[in-house]
Structure 1
């Protein structure tokens, strides 16, 4: 199988509902950085809220690595900005303030093992248990980013302890070279039609100007989404891969 074969298979997954994905019970979206939750699950969160299904979000890192060399936005200021952006995005999706949490791990340096990893998993489990969460959503383990890979590992460990279902939402994996060999079982899961919430999701994405624009213009090496990178998240479908635990 190639990456292209796998991505084509994702586009052929059956359509499901928010109820199919969550069982109608509370769920928790784990986001490596402030913005991943909106990019991958913005439609899910908005539609769940309209259906009376309780969605929660936990953002794992402080997001301070996107502009490492900005004189105007040193880490503390950038962390505060990105938290504010996340809160504004959540509001656009109809997510109450008490359903958004921040673990504040160091961006681009999340622990992949050891006591710090275990402590992060403990925090995820505690949040899920406190809110009666039955399903976890997390970035795909094949996303080529260290924090996305670690988030996936944390979610998998937490889901095993909770006995919860686990779905992965691809972000950077959607841009893997299509011709590369790919050792992954055929995907199972659902596509979600988010047409009704598409405008809400777009407004939520726009609440992340630090990532979507050059508003911080004093770091020539800063991260900023290109139109090509953003395009997969502006459509009417979100994709969720069932993780076999």
Structure 2
């Protein structure tokens, strides 16, 4: 039986790498995106995979989006990768409510919305894999990212709780906490800033999206049913819990 996987924020960066890897692993893969039509069209053209547009910060849109994917792919979603997220960096004494709420909605609320949309189907089929993308900064904190660090730490706590609730139903729930990775999110940094980041990483380099995708591939594998509630750090040694 071919499993169906859904990757949120899946048309660029880490999400696109995850989608490509899961497709190469033999899964039927769909991705979600919010607004970048050019990137979505390029992803569809390059991969042949389906990309669906909705806002993961909208609970009802997630319910409708999941139903659309299941209807078009002809089955329930077996694998969910919650990858979508944003940053709105500022020191707390300068952070406004919009910056706080946007990160909470896109990085934490969205995970609840998507898990809620698929969990009943997974429970009824007695099988599922959920992987939530956290961050090294959710583990160690980061200057100027009280909102992002809080949201990504929340991802880890949510993952552990849902893992406990789901284990006897054949559903594993795990997190991957990437370190600084070579994606568009870092592309706008000034070279001195980027070099300072690399200097903090024992491996001496940024991660590659494909390395994050490899970790996700391991966690969703059929043979990985005894790993649940875990946070897999992929950060070049920058933080060791």
TM-score calculated relative to the size of structure 2: 0.47
TM-score calculated relative to the size of structure 1: 0.46
Bigger relative contact order (CA 8 A; separation at least 6): 1
Please identify which structure carries the higher helix content.
Answer: 2
